[in-house]
Chains A and B, each alone.
Chain A
Amino acid sequence: MTQKKVIATTSLAGCFGCHMSLLDIDLRLLDLVEVVAFDRSPLTDIKTFTRRADIGLIEGGVCNDENVHVLRLFREHCDILVSMGACAIMGGLPALRNEIPLSECLEEAYLRVPTSAGGSRIIPHHPDLPKILDRVYPCHEIVKIDYFLPGCPPSAELIWRAVTGLLFGGADPIPRELIRYD
């Protein structure tokens, strides 16, 4: 039996919608797991890389220092790195905050909202908590990204074509007619 190809996935500043879309390949998942093993991924709940991956799928942009760390780990452990979805590609909806200074965002989110705990005057911070970056960064501003799958989320069809195409060859892993930005 030939060695299974290895996939790793992660969601940085994303909503897991891209992962949901990945699961939307439905029964083809069964075909996929015949030839592919998922290593580090929220789908397997494997938290650290156990081996080198052929392909890493990154959902979400980079909004905190932990995201930077994870993204760099993925770059280190994956042969091919793919930005999956609008957030990974250009920050997506989280990047709507990029036009607003971070302090203003923090104050609005934690101090001024009516739902903040009574008398709470604290912006959460703790050595165990990630630090928020000044803005949300596209993944390809932090590490080299090899392929981009646009969409919010990218359709299951596009993810399927891209993953199988990049792992096993075949024509045009990112066919033009499957490109959507919403």
Chain B
Amino acid sequence: MSEVTKVGIVVDGRSIEVVEGASLVDVLRLAGIDVPTLCWTRDVDPPLGTCRVCAVRVDGREVAACTLAVRAGMQVECAAPDLAELQQGVVELLFAEGNHFCPACEKSGDCELQTMGYRMGMTHSRFPYRFESYSLDYRGQRLMLERNRCIHCKRCTDLFTDDEGHRVFCFLGKGSQTQVVMDLEREAKLSEHKCDEAVALCPVGAILRKGRGFDRPIGTRASDTPERMDR
């Protein structure tokens, strides 16, 4: 491993010492600034950078914090109200794009998109709800895809592989027609553990175990108590 070099950056006017080359999201969280993220998971390089919720301003330009490695002298802004507006705007876009019927969702209460809405105080999407028709795929042996809820974060397509190292999920189509699909042959060979891993990896209720429903009683889910919502 190369040596760790410390460099100074400025965050909202405060100078802090950070490890050069570390992800800006990590650095900000260490500094106690909980920049919102959706697609981001720790230690993925290159980062997915698909949801764009972690909008901050670096040296006067808006960027997704997860896509940036820290350099000496960076001027980072996180607290400006216009940034919160961008972050919430993206979350609201996702709520308008998909069909997010939270009351009918198995993942409700443990959904990262929903939690993001709560944290931002979102009461509704400012954008017209689109009610697009997205299909379900229940042909898998143990997994099913509920595409109404997919936020296209690419965690499953890019980070998930079966025991042989092959991808199981991929994107078909492009633009607003993009949909996640599952390699049925490979899905059929997934271990129980791997199936659970896929479900857990999905931030929303788009990848589900068949035959399993609402298995977390209300009151025990992540968002049931305000304290547990804050990671």
Contact, CB under 8 Å: A181 / B114: yes
- Asked if B203 is at the interface of the complex by the 8 Å CB criterion, the answer is no
Contact, CB under 8 Å: B101 / A96: yes
Contact, CB under 8 Å: A90 / B129: yes
**Bound: A83/B103 CA distance, A:** 17
Note all chain B residues with C-beta closer than 8 A to A89: 123-124
Contact, CB under 8 Å: A99 / B134: yes
- Asked if B60 is at the interface of the complex by the 8 Å CB criterion, the answer is no
Note all chain A residues with C-beta closer than 8 A to B105: 182
Q: B106-125 toward A: CB 8 Å interface, digit per residue (1/0)?
A: 00110000100111011111
Note all chain B residues with C-beta closer than 8 A to A96: 99, 101, 104
Q: From B99, which residue of chain A is reached at the shortest CB distance?
A: A99
Given known pairs A181-B102, A181-B108, A182-B103, the reply for A99 and B118 (CB within 8 Å) is: no
**Bound: A180/B223 CA distance, A:** 9
Contact, CB under 8 Å: A179 / B124: no
Chain A contact residues: helix, strand, loop or mixed: mixed
Give the contacting residue for A181; candidates B117, B119, B121, B132; CB below 8 A: B117
Given known pairs A93-B101, A99-B99, the reply for A138 and B123 (CB within 8 Å) is: no
Q: A83-124 toward B: CB 8 Å interface, digit per residue (1/0)?
A: 100100111110110111000000000000000000000000
- Asked if A135 is at the interface of the complex by the 8 Å CB criterion, the answer is yes
**Bound: A115/B126 CA distance, A:** 41
Q: A141-161 toward B: CB 8 Å interface, digit per residue (1/0)?
A: 100000111101000000000
Q: From B221, which residue of chain A is reached at the shortest CB distance?
A: A182
Contact, CB under 8 Å: A90 / B108: no
Contact, CB under 8 Å: A92 / B103: yes
Note all chain A residues with C-beta closer than 8 A to B129: 90-91, 95, 138
Note all chain A residues with C-beta closer than 8 A to B131: 91, 95, 98-99, 135
Of the candidates A89, A90, A95, the one having the most CB atoms from chain B within 10 angstroms of its own CB is A90
Contact, CB under 8 Å: A177 / B226: yes
- Asked if B133 is at the interface of the complex by the 8 Å CB criterion, the answer is yes
Contact, CB under 8 Å: B124 / A90: yes
Contact, CB under 8 Å: B124 / A176: no
Q: From B121, which residue of chain A is reached at the shortest CB distance?
A: A176
Q: From B113, which residue of chain A is reached at the shortest CB distance?
A: A181
Give the contacting residue for A99; candidates B108, B125, B133, B223; CB below 8 A: B133
- Asked if A174 is at the interface of the complex by the 8 Å CB criterion, the answer is yes
Contact, CB under 8 Å: B104 / A93: yes
* Cβ distance B137 to chain A, nearest Cβ, rounded Å: 15
Note all chain A residues with C-beta closer than 8 A to B132: 99
**Bound: A93/B125 CA distance, A:** 17
- Asked if B73 is at the interface of the complex by the 8 Å CB criterion, the answer is no
Note all chain B residues with C-beta closer than 8 A to A98: 99, 131
Contact, CB under 8 Å: A90 / B125: yes
Contact, CB under 8 Å: B123 / A179: yes
**Bound: A100/B135 CA distance, A:** 11
Note all chain A residues with C-beta closer than 8 A to B223: 180
Note all chain A residues with C-beta closer than 8 A to B119: 176
* Cβ distance B135 to chain A, nearest Cβ, rounded Å: 9
Note all chain B residues with C-beta closer than 8 A to A100: 133
CB-defined A-B contacts under 8 Å, sample of 9: A90-B124, A93-B104, A98-B99, A99-B131, A152-B102, A152-B103, A179-B118, A179-B122, A181-B108
Binding site for B on A (CB under 8 A): 83, 86, 89-93, 95-96, 98-100, 135, 138, 140-141, 147-150, 152, 174, 176-177, 179-182
Give 11 A-B pairs besides A99-B134, A179-B123 with Cβ atoms closer than 8 angstroms.
A86-B103, A89-B123, A92-B101, A95-B101, A99-B148, A152-B103, A174-B121, A181-B114, A181-B118, A182-B103, A182-B108
